[in-house]
Amino acid sequence: MIVRYCRHYLHREYGYKRFFITIFGFALGLNIVVLSGSIDMLFAGWEIIGVSSFLLIAFYRHRVQPVRNALRAYTVYRFCDIGLLLGAWMSHLLFHESDHFSQLAVLFKDNSTSPASLAALWLMSVLIFTAACGKSAQFPFCFWLPRAMEGPTPSSAIFYGALSVHLGVFLLLRTTPIWSYHLVTQASLFSIGLLTVVIASMAEKTQSNIKGQVAYASITQVGLMFMELALGLENLVLLHFLGNAFLRCYQLLVSPSIVAHMLRIEGAIDTDNSLALPAMRKRLPVSIRDTLPGVLQNTLYVFALQEGNLELIVRAVFWSPLKRFGAGFNALTTRYRLSLVMLLILPWPLLVQLGWASSAIYAIPAVVIMVLASLSAFSQKQFLWTWHAVALSSLSAAFAVWLLQPGVLVDVLLFLSGIVPSWLIGYWLLLRLPNPENYRDAPFAYRALAEIRPVRAFGLLVSFLGLAGFPITPAFIGEDLLLYHASHQFAWIAGLIAVSFVLNGIAIARVYLRVCMGKPLEISGIRSQAIG
């Protein structure tokens, strides 16, 4: 329905074909998610939907804000992918060959015996909740959804009003036997939904645009679905899911028409025409907030206007420590970096020679190099260094797994068959970038490669997706295999590998945006030869 609507809504708009290609990519990912039988296959569709959202938020690539908000949304998506990555890994460890969704219900059917320990099930539940909260913009990740409305209205309707925002609910429905096995996890899910409802319902009242109001209203309804799931009301959740999807889709599709209609009325009567309720016009109490003391009303208004400072809290807890550590490492000279790496590597061979550890411990220096390379790329703004650091991190991860399990060389080479070509092709494209001096002082210093060299920009997009482990190369399957093999001797290494993969994806997404987005600069009214 939305695609049919787009044929007329986006007629003669710049990027018409690009919009539909991305929308159909989203449709592909959505079908894979809905029809998937296991977490591994669901994760493939999950990634396709995430990249489609990323590209559609940055659809208006000439403006700064859509590009920045696209990176913000993709960062949240990618960070919460840790939950799904490690969740798929744990499903293999705990359930072995019985990780199909239909088989999970059979495993948990007998309440007297558990297929895994309560601690393992609790950890897997936390990972699933993290993935669901990120995709559905639930607490504490509520802040990104209204900013993702920078894309065209139809894409906002299909992504954040109707379908994509409900994928977290769908994931929870699919994995109900895992997280509903214990009362603690059910209470945790209920608390997440309750906090989301409180914060989002207040933030909705302070939005100055229709899209923002609809976004927070949708977040509130999804929070209610989380609470319903925690109470075991799966059938009610399905009905709620359908009702909210169609309502938000309708609201977002008609909102441009309502705004245009109101502007025509105001122009005809030459005065302001408010849509406020009669009670609001008469200043009568219309909510509990209006009956509170003035000081408390102002406090709640500021709290809602700042969206509970959730973005600042998430940034301070998750992003800033990693960036500070990476920036500190990048500030070191090459000599100090090499010295630091050598100090971290040298003790391990000595432990093996003394007989205090097995040869598998040689994987630890490779893991240290992987983590340092990922943190360096995460906090680095230079294109080439970021690209090489991400490649070094991926190569170090593969080398570490090979040191742990020398017999899995075929799986390691399968992973590298997707990483190495993507790295080399992207490096070749980055070397051929235009480098005009005017970009140094430009406030929006993006290279606009998609505008001036669309074929190269497409090649860089493919390289970015391949290096990030997107399901278009064998690296996607290789990631899952590396995590599985890494967990046999040192389970914590699998966690570090998953975190590094996530940081690498965020780092090269920034490179792609900086290189391909933006508007070509004009010099004295004539496009510079250096740019062209």
- Per-residue pLDDT tens for 296-335? 878 888 888 888 888 888 899 888 999 999 988 888 888 8
Among 442, 500, 480, CA closest to 64: 442
Residue ranges in 293-448 assigned as alpha helix (H): 294-305, 310-314, 320-331, 334-345, 347-353, 363-378, 383-404, 409-431
CB-hemisphere CA count at 13 Å for 141? Answer: 24
- C-alpha 427 chain-centroid distance: 25
DSSP letter at 522?
E
Among 229, 240, 221, 220, CA closest to 185: 229
pLDDT for 532 equals 40
Q: Is 1 helix (H, G, I), strand (E, B) or coil?
A: coil
Rounded Cα distance, 395 and 316, in Å: 30
- C-alpha 171 chain-centroid distance: 15
Taking the domains of the chain in order of start, what are their residue ranges? 2-266, 332-527
For the chain, 532 residues long, give each residue's pLDDT as a single digit of tens.
888 888 888 888 888 899 999 989 999 999 999 999 888 899 999 999 999 989 989 999 888 889 999 999 999 999 888 888 888 888 888 887 667 888 887 877 766 667 778 888 899 999 999 999 999 999 999 888 888 888 787 877 777 777 888 999 999 999 998 898 889 999 999 999 999 999 999 888 888 877 788 889 999 999 999 999 999 999 999 999 999 988 888 887 887 777 777 777 777 776 655 555 454 445 555 566 667 777 787 888 888 888 888 888 889 988 899 999 998 888 888 888 888 777 777 776 666 665 655 656 778 888 989 999 999 999 987 888 999 999 999 999 999 999 888 889 999 999 999 999 999 999 999 988 876 444 444 444 678 889 888 999 999 999 999 999 998 899 999 998 898 888 777 788 888 999 999 999 999 999 999 899 988 764 334 344 444 4
CB-hemisphere CA count at 13 Å for 343? Answer: 6
Rounded Cα distance, 53 and 332, in Å: 37
Scan for tokens 């007297």, then name that residue. 112
pTM higher than 0.75: yes
Q: Is 526 helix (H, G, I), strand (E, B) or coil?
A: strand
For every residue of 74-143, DSSP letters joined together read: HHHHHHHHHHHHHHHHHHHHHHTT--BHHHHHHHTS-TTS-SS-HHHHHHHHHHHHHHHHHHTT-TT-TT
Among 126, 336, 158, CA closest to 248: 158
Residues in contact with 335: Cβ distance below 8 Å, sequence separation at least 6, in sequence order: none
Among 349, 391, 343, CA closest to 368: 343
CB-hemisphere CA count at 13 Å for 127? Answer: 23
- C-alpha 234 chain-centroid distance: 26
Scan for tokens 């607490």, then name that residue. 139
What does the H/E/C string look like for 284-333? Answer: CCCCHHHHCCHHHHHHHHHHHHCHHHHHHHHHHHHHHHHHHHHHHHHHCC
Pair 465, 472: CB distance under 8 Å: yes
Rounded Cα distance, 310 and 139, in Å: 8
For every residue of 455-519, DSSP letters joined together read: HHHHHHHHHHHHHTT-TTSTHHHHHHHHHHHHTTT-HHHHHHHHHHHHHHHHHHHHHHHHHH-S-
Rounded Cα distance, 454 and 310, in Å: 37
- C-alpha 395 chain-centroid distance: 23
Pair 481, 407: CB distance under 8 Å: no
Pair 513, 70: CB distance under 8 Å: yes
Rounded Cα distance, 39 and 392, in Å: 28
Pair 6, 23: CB distance under 8 Å: yes
Query: Is 275 exposed, middle or buried (CB count within 10 Å of its CB: 0-12, 13-18, 19+)?
Result: exposed
Tallying the residues shown for the chain, one arrives at 532
Residue type, 367: V
Which tokens hold the place of 157? Answer: 């309707």
Which tokens hold the place of 52? Answer: 């489609």
Pair 211, 258: CB distance under 8 Å: no
Rounded Cα distance, 167 and 273, in Å: 38
